[in-house]
């Protein structure tokens, strides 16, 4: 068996997000956020569930950190819930919320696990949504920067790794075009996703400026952002298909990262969207360019992309691409992918090489990667997740190949530690390496947990 060894200081971790695991949705002074409200609307979550209780991580902190310790992870990526800290998103601070995250951070550090904190994993405080319009409001960047400052102030003595946003393109597309995530808007799909993303970018830049000007020197940490990516594989060698795949990259990664690298959106977006795409002022560009110490990459799948002449109103009509699903190598796994696309390990390598080349070989952290599976009724079947092991082996080998080719990958966070609330899929999708029994909240390791534990101990992947 060929073995690929990782560098000595490579960081292995697992990732989660607040609404997907915490529960305690209205406890100890937490304010409501848009997902609390959205999940209450009939029909929005496929199984009618919500993250109100989730896996009750809020009341299982000691146990959950002990379990991470037993896995041997060196780091843990989690998100902070804005409205647990600032119940109305601004103004009064909820000290009980601060105390909760302090406890989590302290437990992690005692266990030798470095906290990697995402400031926003999709939960806009409801008060900010209702008062100002959330991400559609031009002044939202000041609110986000103030929240970020508070987090740096209260936690930055111990948290050395920050991310502003998780998947800005998912926030914009799912929340403002397709309406399948909170706030569930579909009224202006031609403009609102771009406006939302624009404000996310400016909010990111402001928060990073706060960190750099007021905290970074004494706290000695780093700050980045986590992007949602897929690899667009051209459906053929034809130039028009290769160009279509290039455009698909522009409209996903380029959309959210070009502005941070060179101060503007990709030319292909400007060309196709015209005035619908907002513009940055010179001052904003200055704030944006270089506003990250590393790039976080969330990656799960690839899509086959071909050219399309259709210029419909839908998203692919704008891009001029067609996505064909289930046409890549890993057919056997396709049914596990609710978002469309295919598992294609080499697509991961290609994506990483592309990001590295396009953005001047930045440090990269894999902030999410993992395997979708339907939730199974039988616990014993759920624990025997051999497909996940096959997937992880192949994807980690591909990541290693990218590193050998010169991509600077510093660490890897497996999505996800526990089966949890998978957004509009509810609890029907199980992505964890720990199974959770919702009748008693018992956590049980799946086969993949032992696999990951060994991989971390060996610091190597074998194929």
- Residues with catalytic function: 167, 368
Residue 25 C-beta: closest distance to ligand BGC, Å: 17
| Binding flag, residue 141, ligand BGC (CB under 6 A) | no
Considering only residues 55, 127, 145, 170, which one is a binding residue for ligand BGC as defined by CB under 6 A?
Answer: 170
Compare residues 102 and 375 and give the one whose CB is closer to ligand BGC: 375
Compute the distance between CA of residue 242 and CA of residue 371 in angstroms, rounded to an integer: 28
Compare residues 249 and 415 and give the one whose CB is closer to ligand BGC: 415
Distances from the Cα of 2 to the Cα of 203, 393, 455, 460, 461, angstroms: 45, 12, 14, 10, 8
Q: Which two tokens stand for residue 410?
A: 């510093």
Residue 255 C-beta: closest distance to ligand BGC, Å: 16
Compare residues 230 and 292 and give the one whose CB is closer to ligand BGC: 230
Compare residues 17 and 252 and give the one whose CB is closer to ligand BGC: 17
CA 331 to chain centre: 25
Compare residues 118 and 216 and give the one whose CB is closer to ligand BGC: 118
Alpha-carbon Rg for the chain, nearest whole angstrom, is 21
3-state SS, residue 381 = helix
Residue 420 C-beta: closest distance to ligand BGC, Å: 7
Residue 228 C-beta: closest distance to ligand BGC, Å: 6
> Which residues in 293-332 contact ligand BGC (CB under 6 A)?
298
| Binding flag, residue 368, ligand BGC (CB under 6 A) | yes
Residue 355 C-beta: closest distance to ligand BGC, Å: 17
| Binding flag, residue 422, ligand BGC (CB under 6 A) | yes
Compute the distance between CA of residue 418 and CA of residue 434 in angstroms, rounded to an integer: 5
Half-sphere exposure of 427 (CA within 13 A, CB side): 18
| Binding flag, residue 79, ligand BGC (CB under 6 A) | no
Compare residues 17 and 390 and give the one whose CB is closer to ligand BGC: 17
Do 330 and 380 touch, CB atoms closer than 8 A?
Answer: no
| Binding flag, residue 413, ligand BGC (CB under 6 A) | no
Do 180 and 174 touch, CB atoms closer than 8 A?
Answer: yes
For tokens 């000595």, the residue is 8
Do 462 and 393 touch, CB atoms closer than 8 A?
Answer: yes
| Binding flag, residue 78, ligand BGC (CB under 6 A) | no
Compare residues 11 and 54 and give the one whose CB is closer to ligand BGC: 54
In sequence order, what E strands does 308-428 have?
Answer: 321-324, 364-368, 409-415
Q: By CB under 6 A, how many residues form the interface with ligand BGC?
A: 11
> Which residues in 244-283 contact ligand BGC (CB under 6 A)?
none
Considering only residues 164, 228, 306, 390, which one is a binding residue for ligand BGC as defined by CB under 6 A?
Answer: 228
- Stretches 33-41, 106-114, 165-173, 324-332: which one binds ligand BGC (CB under 6 A)? 165-173
- Stretches 108-116, 162-170, 271-279, 322-330: which one binds ligand BGC (CB under 6 A)? 162-170
Compare residues 122 and 280 and give the one whose CB is closer to ligand BGC: 122
Residue 423 C-beta: closest distance to ligand BGC, Å: 6
Taking residue 190's Cβ as centre, other Cβ atoms within 10 Å add up to 12
- Stretches 53-61, 164-172, 203-211, 324-332: which one binds ligand BGC (CB under 6 A)? 164-172
| Residue ranges in 111-238 assigned as alpha helix (H) | 126-132, 140-155, 168-176, 192-210, 216-219
Half-sphere exposure of 423 (CA within 13 A, CB side): 19
| Binding flag, residue 173, ligand BGC (CB under 6 A) | no
Residue 189 C-beta: closest distance to ligand BGC, Å: 20
Considering only residues 22, 64, 123, 167, which one is a binding residue for ligand BGC as defined by CB under 6 A?
Answer: 167
Under 8 Å CB-to-CB from 425, ≥6 apart: which residues? 45, 46, 47, 338
Do 125 and 83 touch, CB atoms closer than 8 A?
Answer: yes
Residue 373 C-beta: closest distance to ligand BGC, Å: 11
Compute the distance between CA of residue 355 and CA of residue 435 in angstroms, rounded to an integer: 33
CA 429 to chain centre: 17
275: left (phi > 0), else alpha (psi -120 to 50), else beta? alpha
| Binding flag, residue 415, ligand BGC (CB under 6 A) | yes
Considering only residues 18, 50, 166, 302, which one is a binding residue for ligand BGC as defined by CB under 6 A?
Answer: 166
| Binding flag, residue 17, ligand BGC (CB under 6 A) | yes
Residue 351 C-beta: closest distance to ligand BGC, Å: 15
Peptide bond into 273 cis (omega under 30): no
Compare residues 113 and 431 and give the one whose CB is closer to ligand BGC: 431
Of 67, 91, 92, 81, the C-alpha closest to 124 is 81
Do 198 and 172 touch, CB atoms closer than 8 A?
Answer: no
Using CB under 6 A, list all residues that contact ligand BGC: 17, 20, 166-167, 170, 228, 298, 368, 415, 422, 431
């Amino acid at each position: 068996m060929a073995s690929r060894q990782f560098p000595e200081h490579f960081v292995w971790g697992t990732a989660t997000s607040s609404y997907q695991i915490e529960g305690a949705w209205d406890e100890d002074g937490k304010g409501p956020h848009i997902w609390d409200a959205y999940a209450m609307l009939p029909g929005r979550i496929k199984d009618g569930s919500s993250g109100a209780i989730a896996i009750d991580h809020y009341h299982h902190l000691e146990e959950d950190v002990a379990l991470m310790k037993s896995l041997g992870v060196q780091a843990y990526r989690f998100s902070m819930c804005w409205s647990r800290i600032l119940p109305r998103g601004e103004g009064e601070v909820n000290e009980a919320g601060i105390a909760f995250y302090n406890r989590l951070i302290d437990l992690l550090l005692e266990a030798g696990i470095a906290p990697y904190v995402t400031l926003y994993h999709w939960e806009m405080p409801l008060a900010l949504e209702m008062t100002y319009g959330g991400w559609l409001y031009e002044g939202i960047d000041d609110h986000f920067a103030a929240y970020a400052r508070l987090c740096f102030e209260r936690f930055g003595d111990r948290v050395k790794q920050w991310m502003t946003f998780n998947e800005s393109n998912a926030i914009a597309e799912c929340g403002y075009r397709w309406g399948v995530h909170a706030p569930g808007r579909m009224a202006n799909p031609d403009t609102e996703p771009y406006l939302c993303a624009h404000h996310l970018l400016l909010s990111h830049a402001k928060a990073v400026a706060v960190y750099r000007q007021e905290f970074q020197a004494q706290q000695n940490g780093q700050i980045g952002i986590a992007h949602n990516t897929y690899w667009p594989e051209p459906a053929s060698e034809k130039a028009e298909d290769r160009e279509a795949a290039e455009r698909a990259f522009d409209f996903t990664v380029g959309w959210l990262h070009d502005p941070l690298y060179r101060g503007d959106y990709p030319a292909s977006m400007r060309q196709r969207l015209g005035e619908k795409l907002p513009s940055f002022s010179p001052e904003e560009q200055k704030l944006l360019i270089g506003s990250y110490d590393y790039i976080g990459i969330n990656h799960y799948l690839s899509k086959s992309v071909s050219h399309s002449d259709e210029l419909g109103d839908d998203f692919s009509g704008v891009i001029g691409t067609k996505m064909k699903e289930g046409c890549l190598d890993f057919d056997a796994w396709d049914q596990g992918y609710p978002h469309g696309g295919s598992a294609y390990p080499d697509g991961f390598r290609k994506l990483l090489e592309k990001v590295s080349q396009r953005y001047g070989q930045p440090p990269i952290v894999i902030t999410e990667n993992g395997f979708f599976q339907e939730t199974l009724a039988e616990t014993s079947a759920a624990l025997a997740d051999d497909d996940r092991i096959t997937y992880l082996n192949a994807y980690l080998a591909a990541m290693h190949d990218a590193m050998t080719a010169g991509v600077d990958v510093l660490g890897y966070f497996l999505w996800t530690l526990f089966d949890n609330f998978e957004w509009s899929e509810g609890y029907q999708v199980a992505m964890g390496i720990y199974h959770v029994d919702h009748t008693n909240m018992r956590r049980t390791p799946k086969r993949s947990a032992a696999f990951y534990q060994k991989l971390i101990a060996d610091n190597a992947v074998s194929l």
